[in-house]
Structure 1
């Protein structure tokens, strides 16, 4: 995989992780869990749809899709798709840094295994 292809793939992964973090920040701003019922669905959707972090997250998803397609057009899906697992690592790091979430030791080990797997994959 050349540098440009890797750049497209990793940018798509990071934008996807950023989208997750922004969506979570938006739901946190709404007070946590969202419950839809027959009587509140419209008002809830309006509240969700007007949260700036949620809108930014959706924009990240849209851009990540375009970037991901660019990357996929340049490499095998058997290489590109497993690289999406780096999104778990990026999202966990971002959740710890920006959302104050705790990342316990067992999860850190699991993230290390993911990184090792991606390194092995990229070298194949």
Structure 2
């Protein structure tokens, strides 16, 4: 199963990249109120935003990769590895979006890393 780790990590990274692209797209669009009169203009802004479109494309590609993974690897091995995405997105949010990352969040990420390491040792 560990032979498929690069494929699993690729799928997870695509998913994390999608999340980061969507975040950047929404940063560009900015805050908006959920009101009926906003539906069309907000939808149009979202529909033409290149970051949103790139994020959605990454999601589609990550699903295709994930289907390939699931056809080759036990789900009990592969699925927990999705938590790598937590590590990547939290770190990227801190680096690229200047999000706060206190000791509690870093500790949580460390626990996640330990869990992912343990899962890969069980293969």
Same fold (TM over 0.5): yes
Runs (4+) off by over 4 Å: none
Distance between the aligned counterparts of 2:17 and 2:7, measured in 1? 15
Unpaired runs of at least 5, structure 2: none
TM-score, length basis structure 1: 0.93
Question: Match of 1:85, SS?
Answer: helix
Distance between the aligned counterparts of 1:2 and 1:116, measured in 2? 17
Is 1:12–1:67's contact at 8 Å kept on the other side of the alignment?
yes
Distance between the aligned counterparts of 1:111 and 1:60, measured in 2? 24
Match of 1:85 among 61, 83, 100: 83
Cα RMSD (Å): 1.1
Distance between the aligned counterparts of 1:26 and 1:34, measured in 2? 13
TM-score, length basis structure 2: 0.94
Question: Match of 2:101, SS?
Answer: coil
Residue-by-residue CA offset, 1:11-54 (whole Å, 9 max, x unaligned): 111111111111011111112x3433211201110011111111
Count of aligned pairs between the two proteins: 122
Does residue 1:99 correspond to 2:97, yes or no? yes
